[in-house]
Chains A and B, each alone.
Chain A
Amino acid sequence: MQEPDSSSVSIVIAGSGGAGVMTAGQILLEAATSRGFYGLMTRSTGPQIRGGEAAAMIRLSPRPVQCPGDRFDILLALDFENVQRFAAELPLDANSLLIVDPAAGDLPPFLKDSGAPVVYLPMAKLAKTVPGGRMSMIALGALARIIGLPESAIVEAVAASIGRKRPDAIASTEKAVLLGAANAPEAEAAKVALATTVPMERWSITGNEATGYGALIGGVKFVGGYPITPATEILEWMAQALPRCGGVLVQAEDELSSINMAIGASFGGTPSLTATAGPGLSLMIESLGLAVASETPVVVVDVMRSGPSTGIATKSEQSDLNIAVYGLHGDAPHVVTAPLSVSDCFFTAQWSVHLAESLQTPVIMLSDQSLGQARVVIDKPQETSFPAKRLTVEVPPTAYERYALTESGVSPMAIPGLSGGQYTADGLTHSPRGTPSSQAHDHIRQMDKRQRKLTSFDFGARWAEIDGEGELAVITWGSSSEPLREAAAAARAQGIRVRLIAMRLVAPPQPKLLAMALKGVRRVVVIEQSHSGQFWRYLRAHYDLPADVVPIARPGPLPIRPAEALDYIQKGARA
């Protein structure tokens, strides 16, 4: 495997809980950002609720990066507590550098086996010489010196996070940072190429925050939610943000309740959302059918994690595609979307609200842990305008029909409070008026109408991101897109012509659009992060693909890295 991108530096800070690993990672990212860098930070922790081993993984680059790199240039271990558990997540090699505390004891086997040179920094000892000094700040000072980032950037970032009210804490931290820098071991390591200018208008945002913000911009004013890893941050962020913007969040007693609260609020005319992960989505499925039948718009964000059952709650996988697409009983047309990167959570959430409101049907947005809990520094996304726009009744006709058989399938919705618009929304098969019916004609006409809403709707160019030319195409979706984007660029640099099709709209399928996108393509490689090839099987069911299809499905929890993605492209390019 080859390194497709050498213009970034990847650093992991590892240690036991309470050592300040995550804070140190966050400060390093902020410090680098202040000097013009872009970056990504992901986190990995042990199963403990509090404490336990932790790793902050940071990738810095002079240009935007939104997925983990192939390997780590530097590992800094505050201690070796259970660090061995991260072995599979931390690719290190002879060109990496290990910075360790001499008091930490013997190197864990995977660090020894990596062949990476070791340098020693007595972080614990140095920290003791500064009143109020912490190991992690010694570490940051040394790290900054080694990668060529000015120590002042670290000091400023720490000061910003501590706040002005504690000048003594800032002073002791500054001392610790400078002491770490002064004692930085002499070592050959990847350096960050200092940016000459600091770009304007950048965001530092996590996928879960971007989802919440996108939903708000899209018009969401009500959230019903139940805590679940790794979606909780969406709820927590929105709980703070919504009340400032005319909305509210209610913490429900379970997911059965949270989806129904959202449906109830939406029935009242309020664009609504809930966020959950696979186990919660499983509980919501029956009520999603109700939203389909009653034609009530609602957005469900599923931040996917490894399944089935409780699986690995803190790690990613793209394995909820089947339940999102096929989970509902009966014939229940609905929409499934997937953000293509951390920053795209902002757009896709907004778009999902727009689709739910326009089509009066539920939209399931399949984000995942690798997007939701990653923080990126990106250019401020371009303004997009997909406001919530629900077709409502202003002046009801004398015999108002809530489920009128319209050409588009979308029927004007009366909002409670409107005189003459009264109707009963129902999960029972109903007549256009909404009256329960067990008649074949009502059943068939209403199903036709609900299907028609999706088939007659123009989803526009946003259904997929397509770039590149050639007879080889890679089709992927959601979070696998970003490593593939990097890999496709690397492949093109090697002369491999490859077309990348990253699907943002999973359902309803768009066979005509894909046929156009596949014009001239002879071989297709399908790449996804699932064990059973859920996406590939879905494509086979709904799309005309060339005869030559190479399915590549591999489960989580480890991320698909650009080099692995490049390997798939290179293999696909061989005749």
Chain B
Amino acid sequence: MNRMLTAAQEFKPADYKSSVKPVWCPGCGDHAVLVSFQRALAELKLPPEEVAVISGIGCSSRIPAYTNCYGFHGVHGRSLALATGLKVARPDLTVIVASGDGDGFSIGGNHFLHACRRNIDLTYIVMDNRIYGMTKGQPSPTTEPDWDTVIAPGGTGVSAFNPLVIALVSGANFIGRGFSGDVAGCTRLIVEAVRTPGFSFVQLLSPCVTFRPDQQKEWKKTVHPAGVPETDDPGRAARRLMTDDGLNLGILYRGKRAPCQPRPSTDFAPTCLESEFAA
């Protein structure tokens, strides 16, 4: 709205912080994601009131209230739809969507496909801990097939979902993966995702200390930066995403698709249509 006037303004990460205390467990990866988020917005120099953070339901979806941006904490699985309506109606806003692996890939899976396909200028951050934390430890679409839980003793036997591949083949214009333990890396990913026009998908591995207590330590040991530079070739990206170990961090694909932004052609008063009905 008044970006022209405020473009030169400097912001600190604290400018994006609200006074609400997170409900997350101590040590939860989402705390670090929140820090990365605030740093990224400061680096992007976006006035907080021109950013909307949209989410669904789950631990990660609590994030809007912890920011000093406009926020919408909606129903389970529908954050991308809320965000799409908002961005189409208000292209002037920066719209960032926060979700988790259950909210985003299970109940909200269909919207994920279509948001990628539609390629509206949104940034979609999924905090992936491979578990349902808020309902206390059920398997999500990214949970390993042999992960033992009360609801699925011995594991689900169902292979894990690869959201990055799905994003690529569905048309997302930016795909990246980060690890919450690497705040600088996450910050950079968010900055680049917001800067890249179109639909940007960022998977942030964000450990659940309560229901997957070894995750933090294990990921810290095993994540590694992508060995090769980012690509704009979807074929190359597909091979890389299909064959990587799921722990490869960085910008893994940045395409050149023009974003979709439906716009009115004219702004006449609706009474201009009345003649259509003249009998």
Contacts and interface: CB of A to CB of B under 8 A. Distances in A.
Given A256-B78, A265-B89, A248 B268 contact: no
Nearest to B90: A268
A260 B264 contact: no
Contacts of A244: 264-266, 268, 272-273
Interface string B74-103: 110110111111111110110000000000
Contacts of A268: 52, 85-86, 89-90, 93
B88 A265 contact: yes
A245 B273 contact: yes
Contacts of A420: 49
A426 B86 contact: no
A416 B93 contact: yes
B111 A257 contact: yes
Interface stretch (B65-73, B143-151, B181-189): B65-73
A243 B264 contact: yes
A322 to B, nearest CB: 22
A286 interface: yes
Interface residues on B, range: 35 or more
Interface residues on A, range: 35 or more
Given A260-B74, A268-B89, A426 B65 contact: yes
A424 B65 contact: yes
B8 interface: no
B224 to A, nearest CB: 36
Interface string B48-68: 111011100000001011001
B114 interface: yes
A267 interface: yes
Contact of B54 (A264, A289, A290, A377): A264
A241 B270 contact: yes
A260 B115 CA distance: 13
Interface string A398-423: 00000000000000001011111111
Contacts of A262: 85
B279 interface: yes
B187 to A, nearest CB: 21
A104 interface: no
Contacts of A436: 20, 62, 65, 73
Given A213-B273, A417-B93, A243 B75 contact: no
Contacts of B269: 245
Contacts of A267: 52, 72, 82, 86
Given A241-B270, A417-B1, A419-B49, A425 B72 contact: yes
B4 interface: no
Given A203-B277, A241-B270, A421-B49, A428 B82 contact: no
Contacts of B69: 422
Contact of A294 (B50, B72, B267): B72
A311 to B, nearest CB: 24
Nearest to A33: B279
Interface string B28-57: 000000000000000000011110111000
Interface of B: 1-2, 20, 47-50, 52-54, 62, 64-65, 68-75, 77-78, 80-90, 92-93, 110-111, 113-114, 262-274, 276-279
Given A244-B268, A244-B273, A289-B75, 19 more contacts: A209-B277, A243-B265, A246-B264, A248-B262, A248-B263, A253-B113, A257-B84, A261-B84, A265-B86, A269-B89, A270-B89, A272-B89, A414-B70, A417-B50, A417-B90, A420-B49, A426-B73, A427-B75, A428-B73
Across chains A and B, which 10 residue pairs bring their CB atoms closest together, nearest first? A264-B85, A261-B85, A424-B71, A260-B81, A265-B89, A264-B82, A246-B267, A265-B85, A216-B270, A257-B81
25 contacts: A202-B278, A217-B271, A243-B263, A245-B272, A246-B268, A247-B264, A256-B78, A257-B110, A260-B85, A261-B82, A263-B74, A263-B82, A263-B85, A264-B82, A264-B84, A264-B85, A265-B89, A268-B86, A416-B49, A416-B50, A421-B49, A422-B48, A426-B65, A428-B73, A436-B20
